[in-house]
Each structure stands twice: as structure tokens, then as C-alpha cells.
Amino acid sequence: MLRDKARTEESETARGALEALKARSSAKRAETSAWFFKTGPGEYGEGDRFLGVCAPDLRRLAREFEGLPLAETLKLLGSPWHEARCLALLVWVRAYAKGGASERRAIYQAYLANTDRINNWDLVDCSAEHIVGAHLEERSRSPLTKLARSRSLWERRIAIIATFRYVKRGEHGETLHIAEILIGDSEDLIHKAVGWMLREVGKRGGLAEEEAFLRKHCRTMPRTMLRYAIERFDEPLRRAFLRGDVY
């Protein structure tokens, strides 16, 4: 009985979660992930380390460890292993959705205090809308503007991806506002994220707003951003935007 209790307590710690991750690891998948997430010298994920755990297993473990205390998830977020940081964020997403006001506030504050650990596009994309976007839904959105003007690539991506929360609810203004701030960004990962969110605006009831934004910016915005934004347009209109032949 005492041994069973000890095992249960161990499973509710960051160490227990890390052991569960290692039990599902794959050296081959880790090698592929290191290449896919650009971990080489000078690349955006430089130095990141992977265990090689697949996304479905990460989501299953997030359900298993959803009761992990905030202090333990912070230990996971501080891990050198990419999947440990991802698991911490997925646990936070679940906890935020189910938590009360004080727990939600604590998760939001911990998230913004640790953006240096949310340091790849998948970590941002699985969490920003569900924590930052959700927390600011009924509050001032000014933190998004601050994030969009950050020197941190990941904070800027958090700013635009967080607005997906509002796009899904038919609100497009915040996405267009943040997109305008990021229109001249130098990073490809921001070009892709902004283009994706603009495409979602058009897809989810804001086509006229998306087109108006693109007519204003298509001649100067990064080509990757534009291409992502117009993926769903019919071919003649898509080509017109690529030529800048729209007014």
C-alpha cells in the first residue's frame, strides 16, 4: 500500500512525467525532429534536444498528468528536452480550460514569465491561443501589442497566434491589428504565422476584411506571408495579388 502511494506521488511530479516521456521515446524520431525543428548552428531551434515522442503520445500524457501542480510543470518547462516543455504547455492548456479565475491567472502569468522556454513554433502554436488569447478575451488586448513589438521571435509569434482565439469566434480586428505591426518583420516564421492567420480571417467570415488588408499591403509585405494568406483564393485573384495588380 505504501509502495503504491509512493508510486502515485512520483507520477505526480515532473520527474514522473519525464520518465513517462522517456518510456515513449524513439532515437530515430528524435533525429528526425532535430532536423525538422532546425536545431543546427545558427538555426532558430539551435541546440534544442529531442527525446523522440510523437504528438499523440504527448497529448495522451497531458491527460494523464493534467493534475500536475504548477511548480512541477515549471520544472518541466525548464527542461532541455523539447517534449518536456511541450508536455508542460499541454498540461497548462488543459488546466486553464478547467481552472478557476485564480488558477487561470497564475497560468497566464507563468506563461508570459517563461516565454524564453516557449522557444519553437510548435510550442507557441499548441498553447498561445488557449492561454494568452483566452486570458485576454474579456480584458485589454494591449499585452498582445507589447508582445508583437518584442525583440523575441517567439513573443512576436505568440502575439499573432493568440489572436486565433478571436478569429474562431468571428472577431478579426485584433488579428489585423497585430498583422499590421508585424508586416515588415524579418523572420520567416513570423511571415508564415501572419499569413496563416490572415488566411483564417478570410476562411472564417472575414474575406472582405482580409482582401482589404491585402490590397493595402500586398506590394510591400513579404512574399511568403502573402502566399500563405491567399492560398484559398481562386487562381485569377491569387495571381492578381501576387502581381500587385489589385486596387
Q: Which domains does the chain have, with CATH numbers?
A: 1-117 (1.25.10.90), 136-247 (1.25.10.90)
- Mean pLDDT for 86-102 is 98
Mean pLDDT for all residues in the chain: 94
The one-letter code for the residue type at 148 is A
In 3D, which of 239, 187, 185, 174 has the Cα closest to residue 213? 174
Residue 247: per-residue pLDDT: 84
Q: Which three cell numbers stand for residue 82?
A: 523539447
54: phi then psi, degrees, rounded to nearest 5: -75, 160
By three-state DSSP, how is residue 81 classified? Answer: strand
> Max Cα separation, the chain?
74
* Residues 81/21, Cβ–Cβ less than 8 Å: yes
Predicted confidence band of residue 11 (pLDDT cuts 50, 70, 90):
low
For the stretch 146-198, pLDDT in tens is: 999 999 999 999 999 999 999 999 999 999 999 999 999 999 999 999 999 99
For the stretch 199-219, pLDDT in tens is: 999 999 999 999 999 999 999
By three-state DSSP, how is residue 91 classified? Answer: helix
* Residues 88/76, Cβ–Cβ less than 8 Å: yes
Residue 70: per-residue pLDDT: 96
* 49: β partners: 81
Residue with cell 482565439: 165
Buried b (16+ CB within 10 A) or exposed e, 125-137: ebbbbbbbbbbbe
Residues in Cβ contact with 240 at an 8 Å cutoff, skipping those fewer than 6 apart:
246
Q: Which three cell numbers stand for residue 69?
A: 501542480
For the stretch 33-72, pLDDT in tens is: 999 999 999 999 999 999 999 999 999 999 999 999 999 9
DSSP 8-state assignment for residue 187: -
What is the CA angle 237-242-247, rounded to 5?
65
* Residues 141/176, Cβ–Cβ less than 8 Å: no
49: phi then psi, degrees, rounded to nearest 5: -125, 140
Cα distance between the two ends of the chain:
74
